[in-house]
Amino acid sequence: MAKAVGAGSAQTSRGRRHDVEERLRQIGVPAHAAPPSGRLVPEERHGARLRAALESLGPVFASFGLYLGSRLDLLPRRDCQELGRIRDVGFPAPPSDLVQLFRRELGAPPPQRFFSFQMAPINVRLLFQDHAAWLAPGAPIVVRVVRPDVAQGLERDLTMLSAVEPYVAVSPDRFQAALVDFSLALRRRLDQRGQADALQQLAEDWRTIGAFDAPFCYRDHSSVSVLTVARVEGVALGDAFSHSRVWTAPPFEREPVARQLCAAWLRQAIEGRIVPCAFGPQDVLLLPDRMVYVGSQFETQTSDGRVRFLGYINAAAADDPDGACEWVMAECEARRNGGAEEELRRRFRQAVPFRDGESSGEDNLAEHLLVHWRATAEAGWRLRPHLLQLYRAVHALSVRADALVPGKDVLTLALQDARLRIGLHEARQLVNPLGVPATLDTLLANMVTLPQKLDEVLTLAAEGRLRVKLHMPTSEEQRRVRNGTVALVAALSVLAGLAFLFRVVVPAPGAGAERIGALVLLIAGFWLLKAARDL
C-alpha cells in the first residue's frame, strides 16, 4: 500500500513538472535589455507572458511572480511592474478540507471551536482565506486559514520553481539566491504561530511609538495553519478611495493617508522592533485615529540596525552619496565577482533617477533608495537578507504612495516628520525631571574618564604628536577667563555630585522632596547661566 501511494505521488509530481515546463516553454526567450528610455515597445511582451504563465501555475508560482516583481535589483523595471499586476486572489477551499484542517490542528471542527463560524470566506488570497466568526456574542473575530491546497503542494512546487530560471534574464547564482530568500520568506508567512508573534510585537511597538497597530491575537484558537485575531472595523487601503464604496464615515484624503502610511513605516524602521515589508491593497486598514497592519510579511529590526538605517536614509535625503555608500558597503555580506569599493562609490555619485532608463522617472527619496539598491547589485555587491527586505518594503511603499498621490515626494515629508518627532522626544528627555538621574549618570561617567583623556592629550603634546596647537593663556584677562571656566566646571561637578548623592541617599523621594530638589536645581542653573554669561 505504501509503495502504491509513493508511486502515485511520483506520478503526480512528474505530471506536475511536465505541466510546469510546458506552460513556461510558451513564454519564449527572455526579452532583451530595456532601451535607454525605459519604454516598452509593442512587440516586447515577455513580461506579460511570464506573468500569465506564473498565474496559471497556482498560488506558489504566482507568489513567486509577485516576489520577483518586488526585486528591482534583479529584473528590469518594466518586468517588475508587469509581475506586480499578479492578483493576490485565489479560489476558496472546499468546506470538507477546512473541517479536516480544524480537526487536525485545533482538535474539533469550527462549530465546536467557535460560538459562530461562517464557512463562506470573506476574503480569499493566493495563500490564505479569511472567515468571519465569533468567539462569544459581541466578540467578533477573523480566522485566517492557510489554504489546504497550498500546504499540500508547497514542497513539490518549491522544488520546481527552478524551472523559471531560463525565462528570466538573471544570472544563475543570483536567481538561486533569490529562490532561497523567497522560500524562507514564504515559510515564515505560512507559519501562523510566527505571524501571531509578529503581530503581537507590532502592537507593542504601536503603544510606544504610535506607528502601525495590529489586531489582538487569540493564541488558544490559533495553530500552525490557523490564526485567530480580533476583527477590526476599518477600511482597507485599497477600498478607501474606490468610487463604488458606500461611505458610512467621513472619507479619507489621499495625501494625508499617503503621508501617514510612509511616516508609520519610517517609525517602525527607525524606532520599532519589527518592520512590515508589504503593503498590498488589503494589508492596511484605515481608522480615524490609526492605521492597522493586517499583512503577513515582517522583518525584525535591531537597535543598531535602526540607528544605521536612520543614518543611511538621512544621507540619501541630504544628497550625500558617499555617506549612503558607506552604509551600504557596511551592510553587505560579501562582494560578488570582486566588486570594487571605488566602483560602487562612482555608481552612487552618478545615480540620478530621472536619467536612469530603468527608473520610474521620478526624482524623489524613494526612487533614490531604489536606484541605490540596483546600483549595489550591478556593482557586484550582495546585501544581507535583512536589508533586502527593507528595500523591498521601500518599493512596496513607493507603489502605494504613488498610487495615492502621483508625483509627490511623500517619503521625504514623512522623514521630516520622523526626524522632528525624534528631536522632540530627545528634548523632552532632557527637560524631564524624572530623566535627570539618567542624564547625570552619563555626565558623571564622562567626568570619570576626563582625567584619562586629558592625560592622553598632554602626553601627545609633550611628545610632539598633537596636531592641534595649544595656546596657553598668558595675559591677566586670559587667566581670569580660564579661572572662571574652571570654577564653572567645578560648580557643575559639585551640582552633579549633590544630585547623585541625593539619589543614592533618598532612592524613593516623595513628591515634596522632588519639588525641593527641582527648585534647588533650577536656582543653581540660573546662577550658573549668570556666571557663564559674565565670563
Tens digits of residue pLDDT in 402-431: 999 998 899 998 898 888 877 776 666 555
Mean pLDDT of 347-357: 66
What's 481-517 look like in SS3? HHHHHHHHHHHHHHHHHHHHHHHHHCCCCCHHHHHHH
Instruction: Give the confidence band of 352 by pLDDT, cuts at 50, 70, 90.
Output: low
The percent of residues above 70 in pLDDT, for the chain, comes to 70
Check: CB of residue 173 under 8 Å from CB of residue 116: no
Query: Which residues are CB-contacts of 282 (< 8 A; sequence separation ≥ 6)?
Result: 88, 123, 125, 236, 237, 238, 294
Q: How far apart are CA 427 and CA 165, in angstroms?
A: 53
Percentages helix, strand, coil for the chain, rounded to the nearest 5? Answer: 60, 10, 30
Q: How far apart are CA 336 and CA 175, in angstroms?
A: 14
| Phi, psi at 328, each rounded to 5° | -65, -45
Give me the pLDDT at residue 300, please.
92
Give me the pLDDT at residue 474, please.
43
The percent of residues above 90 in pLDDT, for the chain, comes to 48
Lowest mean pLDDT among 136-140, 202-206, 348-352, 464-468: 464-468
- The model carries a pTM of 0.76
pLDDT over 70 at 203, yes or no: yes
pLDDT over 70 at 94, yes or no: yes
Instruction: Give the confidence band of 515 by pLDDT, cuts at 50, 70, 90.
Output: low
Three cell numbers written together for 348: 552612487
* Mean residue pLDDT across the chain: 80
| pLDDT tens per residue across span 219-265 | 999 999 999 999 999 999 988 887 655 444 557 889 999 999 999 99
| Coil, strand or helix at 228 | strand
pLDDT over 80 at 71, yes or no: yes
| pLDDT tens per residue across span 451-488 | 665 665 565 555 554 444 334 344 454 455 555 555 65
> Cell 467621513 maps to which residue?
250
Q: How far apart are CA 128 and CA 295, in angstroms?
A: 11
CA distance readout (Å), 424 to 75, 412, 419, 432: 41, 18, 9, 12
pLDDT over 80 at 519, yes or no: no
Lowest mean pLDDT among 4-18, 20-34, 240-254: 4-18
Amino acid at 1: M
Q: Which of 54, 120, 64, 127 is nearest to 90 (CA)?
A: 127
DSSP 8-state secondary structure symbol assigned to residue 92: P
| Coil, strand or helix at 161 | helix
DSSP 8-state secondary structure symbol assigned to residue 74: T
| pLDDT tens per residue across span 37-68 | 444 444 457 889 999 999 999 999 999 999 99
Residue 136 pairs with which residues in a beta bridge?
139
pLDDT over 50 at 527, yes or no: yes
Q: What's the N-to-C CA distance of the chain in angstroms?
A: 97
Q: How far apart are CA 362 and CA 410, in angstroms?
A: 12
pLDDT over 70 at 159, yes or no: yes
- Find the DSSP H helices in 379-409: 385-404
User: What is the enclosing helix (H) or strand (E) of 332?
Assistant: strand 332-335
Mean pLDDT of 97-102: 95
User: What is the enclosing helix (H) or strand (E) of 236?
Assistant: strand 235-236
Q: How far apart are CA 22 and CA 26, in angstroms?
A: 7
